[in-house]
Amino acid sequence: MSAKKYVGSSFEQPLTVEARQAKLELSADTVVIHKNGIEFRSPAPFIEWTEMTVSLQSPRNGSKLHCAGVIVGCSGSKHAGYNVSMMFTSLSKQAQSRLNTMAHSDLGAG
């Protein structure tokens, strides 16, 4: 995934990323939304192919979107932080539509 821009302060709630071994609350300035996944900055590394869940909350109507996915990339260092790429899996048509809308709005990478 290639990032064009980071999400501004459009999220009212932090993004929650959960795996068995970790749970992160991410601020809006560390997340990029794509039509098939997200990229985010993390203080801790994630192992590739780790399955995770993400909860996104729309600033427009407050609705939540829960997505399952897999970590497909993680690069960085403990000093600078890590850039993590996650691809969503098994999205319903409704969830995919909502994610596409977010990705093509001021919330996403375009």
Mean pLDDT in residue range 70-93: 94
Mean pLDDT in residue range 64-89: 93
pTM higher than 0.85 for the full model?
no
**54-to-68, 77, 79 alpha-carbon distances in Å:** 6, 23, 25
Mean pLDDT in residue range 58-76: 84
HSE, CB side, 13 Å, CA atoms: give it for residue 53.
Answer: 5
Mean pLDDT in residue range 74-86: 95
pLDDT for 55: 82
pLDDT digits (tens, 9 = 90+) for 83-106: 999 999 989 999 898 888 877 766
pLDDT for 2: 35
Distance CA(46)–CA(58), nearest Å, equals: 25
Which domains can be identified in the chain, with CATH numbers? 15-100 (2.40.10)
pLDDT digits (tens, 9 = 90+) for 11-55: 455 666 666 666 777 777 778 888 899 999 988 899 999 998 888
